[in-house]
Structures are given as C-alpha cells and as structure tokens.
Amino acid sequence: MTVNRELFDEVMVPNYAPSAVIPVRGEGSHVWDQADNEYIDFAGGIAVNCLGHCHPALVNALKVQSEKLWHVANVMANEPAIRLAKKLVDATFADKVYFANSGAEANEAALKLARRFALDNYGEHKSQIIAFNQGFHGRTFFTVTVGGQAAYSDGFGPKPGNIDHCNYNDLAAFEALISDNTCAVMLEPLQGEGGIISPTVEFIQGVRALCDKHNALLIFDEVQTGVGRTGHLYAYQGLAVTPDILTTAKALGGGFPIGAMLTTTDIAKHLKVGTHGSTYGGNPLACAVAEAAFDTVNTPEVLNGVKEKEALFRQLFTQINDKYHVFKEMRGEGLLLGAVVAEQYQGKARDFMLASIDNGLMALVAGVNVVRFAPSLVIPEADIREGMARFEKAVAQVVNAQ
C-alpha cells in the first residue's frame, strides 16, 4: 500500500487540512518525513511532546507496562493510575484526580462537576458559566460552546445554555457579568489558541476575588500551559492565584493520550458513583507513560531550564526581527511563545508557518496573526539556534515574496 497525502484525502473525513509532509520517525527535537527530510520541531505536536520524540524514559515506561497490563476500565483500579494521581496531588493544590483521554474530556468533566456542585449546594438558579472570548477549551459541544470562538461552535444546532463570555483581561466587563447566579468561571491562565495572551496581575487576582465573592468555582484550563510549559509545573503556581478545579492533558502524557481533572475533596465529593465516567480514563498504559513524563519534567533542572531556553528564544528572535522588522513582539511565557506579526503582515501568520516547513522547521500559528512555538522542554541549545536560523530563512522567504 502506498501511503501518501492523496490517500489521506481519499479515506479521511475532510475536517483536517494537513501539510504534504508526513513524519515517520523522530528523535529528540528532530523529525524525519517519508523522503528522509529532517526538521527541527518547534511545534511539539501542539505543546504535547514535552520531552521531544521517543524520550528514553517514556519509551521504557511504555515497553515495561505493555508487558504487564493494558486495560481494565474503571470497574477496577490499577497501580499506574493510583501512582500518577498521588504524584499530581502531592505536587499541586488538589486532593482528588479524575482521569480522561483528552483535554476536552477533562474540561467536560470540570464543567459538569461545577454545575453539579452548584446545584447541590445552592439550587437550580446557580448555573451560569462565564468564559472568555478567543478562549479554547476543546471540541465537545459543551467545551466548544464555553470556548469563546463562534467559528468553532456555530452550525451544530442549539448550544448548551447559560454560557456567557467577555474579553480576556477586561476585569470591569467580567465584574459586570458575574453574579450570585454564576456557578463557574473557566479560563486559560495564558490564552493559547487565542494568540498567546498572558493575564495581567490585576485581572487574574480580580477574577479570583470575584469568584470568591459570588461563590463561583474558578476553573483553570491548563491543558496547554501545564506540565512545565511556562517554567512552572502548572502556570497557576506562578500567578499567586489558586483555582478550585484544574484541567491538564497534552504534555501530561508526553505524546500518549491522557487528560486529568484536579480538584479538592469538598468539590470532588459531588461526582458520586455513577455521575460521570470514561471507559479509557486512567488507562494503565497511558498512566505509566504519564508518570514517567511527570517524573522527568517535575525537577528543578527541567523547570529552570525552560526559563533559560525562553531567554535564548527571545534573544535570537530579537536579532531576526531587528533585521527584518516583520513582528511587533514576542508574547508568552516559558516555551509557549508567540511572534505577533506587524501591520503589513496582518492575517499572514500561516505564511510564516508554511515557509518554516519549506526550510526544515515545524512551527504553529495561534490565530491568523501569531506564529507559535511550543518545542520540547528539554530541547538542546544547539537545536534552538539551528531552528531559529531556519526560521530566519523562512522570514526572508516571506519578505522576499511580498
């Protein structure tokens, strides 16, 4: 069988439009395609491959667990899931963990829990959920409606109700929206898909205070920011604000699908037996790999290294932009970074991403005006320098095509 991009179009539902490049193997921050072309990976599978490709600790964990136990479902407990939950609890504010397969499912669980908590404690009137424009929380119908991007949620019929949005970092608009009828507020502690937008101190602390005032639960979607991405194990730990519920996925498994919802005992008790579940949630294979990823990332060497690598990215980015003047700024924190295009390149972030592929670099976009980098947290300095050299060639290619 010849496997190529044409076969993809023949057999796959057309909701994706992948590039012509089909990766076949990876090692560290390097990826090779079917023609054995080599790429530096600054995309990380959209902030998933936190330890790069085929990291020995993850490969070993998968091999060992694959010869023990693959699946039992939640009619029984399993050791990898219990160990991973204990480590998550010990390292965060949380007391309890719920495992799922993805970030969307972790967010779905968080939203259902918040609604049930409010119903049990306050009554049916307390059901409003507030989220933020340009937010992204997944593609289930509940989470895509909570995410503040109508382009993703329109066109599928009536949406889940009592969900409202306001602008991120607009504390006055948020204060006008929240009330004693609000059951939960969901936000990213650094907006990813929305353009790599960091919260102001006033905003994030103000949201926490208003949630407390109105007895609303604060949910942090850390699907993209979690597991070391910002240089903290979880981004909330660098914000002096603690959520009531936190969701994590993407980097949690280092490439193996897994998600989790973390919360306190008092809140968790409202998901009684039978109220929610997942066949694959807490799968032994997934949890064994995630435990290895977590153990590797949750060290001072890796977390401090993220900040050091961020500084190098910013330094090299500035050198490129001083020469070509095509970006306004680099936003973000740690190794979740966004290069914002200048006025004359508005709407053309994708051009830089495609030119990067032409020059042997995998990058991302965050909306139409931001080129996004989310590389391995342990990417070597030499690969950062080589990758940014390739990015400079991509920038020159776009400039020369103008």
| Residue 347 is assigned to a ligand binding site | no
Tell which residue, 174, 183, 166, has the closest CA to residue 125: 183
Say whether 299 counts as a known binding-site residue. Answer: no
Q: Tell me if 146 is assigned to a ligand binding site.
A: no
103 is in an annotated binding site: yes
279 labelled ligand-binding: yes
Please check if 224 is assigned to a binding site. yes
CA dihedral 381, 232, 217, 188 (to 10 degrees): -20
Q: Please report, for residues 134, 210, 248, the alpha-carbon distance to residue 47 in angstroms, rounded to integers and kept in the order given.
A: 18, 31, 12
Question: What DSSP string runs through 164-219?
Answer: EEE-TT-HHHHHHH--TTEEEEEE-SSBSTTTSBPPPHHHHHHHHHHHHHTT-EEE
Sign of the CA dihedral with 359 first, then 365, 369, and 371 last: negative
Angle between helices 79-91 and 284-297 (to 10 degrees): 30
- Residues belonging to the active site: 136, 221, 250
Determine whether the annotation assigns residue 136 to a binding site: yes
139 is in an annotated binding site: yes
Q: 94: annotated binding-site residue?
A: no
Question: Do the annotations mark residue 115 as ligand-binding?
Answer: no
Asked if 44 and 227 touch (Cβ cutoff 8 Å), the reply is no
Binding positions for N(2)-acetyl-L-ornithine: 139, 278
Return binding residues for pyridoxal 5'-phosphate.
103-104, 136, 221-224, 279
Which residue numbers belong to the known binding site?
Answer: 103-104, 136, 139, 221-224, 278-279
